Amino acid sequence: MTKRFDNRVAFITGGSRGIGKSIAENFAEDGAKIAIIDIDAEALQNVQSEFRDKGFDILALQANVVNSQEVEATMEQVIQEYGSLDILVNNAGIIRDNLLFKMNDNDWDQVIDVHLKGAFNTTRAAQKHMVHQKYGRIINISSTSALGNPGQANYSTVKAGLQGLTKTLARELGKFGITANSVAPGFIETDMTKSTADRMGIPFEDFLKAGASKIPVGRVGKPSDIANAVAFFADEQSSFVNGQVLYVAGGPTN
């Protein structure tokens, strides 16, 4: 039986847990070969074993998205092993939340680096292969925080920045059969939102309940909700959908 992403190679940053892992698993279940990069060697090893046990093709490689040499080296390795690179998902992310008057230089620089320098590094490395093969799908993971969120001056800036990058890539690369789109999640239950609850001293269950009460569909999101939207943009048949931002947040909240 043919599958939606047969013969496709998907490269996902920050793919060893949370939203990135779910995106990788969804692609793999639909036939894609998967490459993920991440920093944590043990997490990479675990996800590689788990996916191989399920019969998926996966390369789990250690690289920091901020380091362009590491990104390029891992991408070359993926091309060598799999022969192409069709889908890039810029998902790796961190938060360093604080009100502006308490935000230090490191909080600002690290968030700007991981999200924006990271997406620049991977996209620049990927586009040369995609242009050559005249096919590509680039999906950037933004956030509802792009619309503004107190305590996240750094994070809301990068998530809005990723939307600008998406629209520019769409215009530069469209003629090569490459589309660029963005998925902007709302509240998703992952280690990232758990760390926010921990920082605020709120039990995670209470934090989830409070979040759900503000969301029109009455629940917080799951990583698979985001994987589903990413797969729509990554589909070969979505070739006329380019430069878009899809908010996946259970409905508007303001």
Q: Which of 91, 127, 166, 182 binds ligand NAP (CB under 6 A)?
A: 91
Shortest gap between Cβ of 55 and ligand NAP (angstroms)?
23
Nearer to ligand NAP, 92 or 246 (CB): 92
Contact 31, 5 (CB under 8 A): yes
Q: Which of 58, 88, 188, 208 binds ligand NAP (CB under 6 A)?
A: 188
Q: Which of 73, 147, 192, 245 binds ligand NAP (CB under 6 A)?
A: 192
Q: Which of 19, 24, 160, 170 binds ligand NAP (CB under 6 A)?
A: 19
Q: Does the active-site annotation cover 247?
A: no
Written in H, E and C, the secondary structure of the chain is CCCCCCCCEEEEECCCCHHHHHHHHHHHHCCCEEEEEECCHHHHHHHHHHHHHCCCCEEEEECCCCCHHHHHHHHHHHHHHHCCCCEEEECCCCCCCECHHHCCHHHHHHHHHHHHHHHHHHHHHHHHHHHHHCCEEEEEECCHHHHCCCCEHHHHHHHHHHHHHHHHHHHHHHHHCEEEEEEEECCECCHHHHHHHHHHCCCHHHHHHHHHHCCCCCCCECHHHHHHHHHHHHCHHHCCCCCCEEEECCCCCC
Q: Which of 48, 123, 127, 143 binds ligand NAP (CB under 6 A)?
A: 143
Residue 166 touching ligand NAP (CB under 6 A)? no
Residue 58 touching ligand NAP (CB under 6 A)? no
Shortest gap between Cβ of 110 and ligand NAP (angstroms)?
9
Nearer to ligand NAP, 47 or 135 (CB): 47
Shortest gap between Cβ of 155 and ligand NAP (angstroms)?
7
Site for ligand NAP in 31-50 (CB under 6 A): 37-40, 43
Residue 191 touching ligand NAP (CB under 6 A)? yes
Contact 23, 226 (CB under 8 A): yes
Q: Which of 10, 12, 18, 129 binds ligand NAP (CB under 6 A)?
A: 18
Using alpha carbons, select from 214, 226, 223 the residue that is nearest to residue 190.
223
Size of the site for ligand NAP (CB under 6 A): 30
Catalytic residue list: 155
Task: Name the site residues for ligand NAP (rule: CB under 6 A).
Answer: 13-14, 16-20, 37-40, 43, 64-66, 91-94, 114, 118, 141, 143, 185, 187-188, 190-193
